[in-house]
């Protein structure tokens, strides 16, 4: 029985801070020699106040090998934009650890997805709260990848279900349309392709 050959590609959009009221258009990726694949998209808040309106994520494909007048969405995703909770870590939490120390756990709930904003933005990350020690700490489901020092956590983060790329796509890109989202936000889009079957 045959098996798929898959590749984890360079991120379609590396983790980054997108300015308030602006639009991020990722690099294009050539899918002409691929059998499909999927996108992994994450969104994070970087301010606790309400953001005016949703940020709209568009996953787009082109049936053409070049040119900019042939982009069509195959997924459209709105984000949350209501006020969220922000809490600063009270100390350094090393990579490989999962207990985040906080002075307050107000409005945080087990199961919350959080964005952990690091002063070095590329070292920021997402996590899900597994348990809470009131006004002391939260414990995540998984260990941190990076050490978090003087970082701030924001709830109402979002990690979306995997988005499959249509096999017909010649090129793909992702657009984070924050034109009505009135604060900076965190965005990341990973990419896995199916390269062959045999």
Q: Indicate which CATH number applies to the domain containing 144.
A: 2.40.10
Q: Mean pLDDT lowest for which of 59-73, 92-106, 111-125, 155-169?
A: 59-73
Q: How far apart are CA 56 and CA 143, in angstroms?
A: 30
Q: What is the dihedral of CA 191, 195, 197, 198, to 10 degrees?
A: -130
Name the pairing type of β-strands 37-45 and 163-165: antiparallel
- Output the domain CATH number for residue 54: 2.60.120.680
Determine the pLDDT at residue 8. 87
pLDDT tens-digit series, residues 115-140: 999 999 999 999 999 999 999 999 99
Per-residue pLDDT, averaged over 153-160, amounts to: 98
96 in the same domain as 11: no
Distance CA 57, CA 139 (A): 30
Is the same domain home to 69 and 96?
no
The C-alpha atoms of residue 94 and residue 6 are separated, in whole angstroms, by 32
β partners of residue 189: 13, 41
Domain count, the chain: 2
> Are 9 and 103 members of one domain?
no
Beta-ladder partners of 62: 71, 171
Distance CA 140, CA 143 (A): 7
**In the numeric block, which tokens belong to residue 34?**
């691929």
Domain that holds residue 144: 86-154
Model confidence pTM above 0.85? yes
Same domain, 72 and 9: yes
CB 43 within 8 A of CB 186: yes
């Amino acid at each position: 029985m045959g098996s798929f050959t898959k590749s984890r590609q360079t991120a379609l959009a590396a983790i980054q801070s997108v300015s308030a009221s602006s639009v991020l258009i990722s690099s294009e990726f050539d899918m002409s020699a691929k059998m499909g694949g999927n996108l992994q998209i994450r969104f994070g808040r970087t301010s606790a106040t309400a953001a005016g309106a949703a940020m709209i994520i568009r996953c787009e494909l082109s049936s053409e090998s070049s040119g900019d007048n042939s982009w069509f969405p195959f997924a459209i995703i709105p984000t949350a934009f209501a006020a969220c909770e922000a809490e600063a870590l009270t100390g350094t939490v090393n990579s490989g650890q999962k207990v985040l120390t906080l002075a307050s756990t107000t409005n945080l709930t087990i199961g919350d997805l959080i964005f952990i904003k690091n002063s070095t933005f590329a070292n920021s990350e997402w996590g899900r709260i597994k348990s809470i020690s009131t006004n002391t700490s939260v414990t995540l489901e998984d260990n941190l990848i990076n050490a978090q020092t003087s970082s701030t956590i924001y709830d109402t983060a979002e990690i979306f279900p995997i988005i499959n790329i249509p096999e017909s796509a010649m090129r793909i890109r992702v657009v984070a349309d924050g034109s009505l989202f009135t604060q900076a936000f965190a965005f990341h889009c990973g990419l896995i392709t199916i390269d062959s079957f045999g």
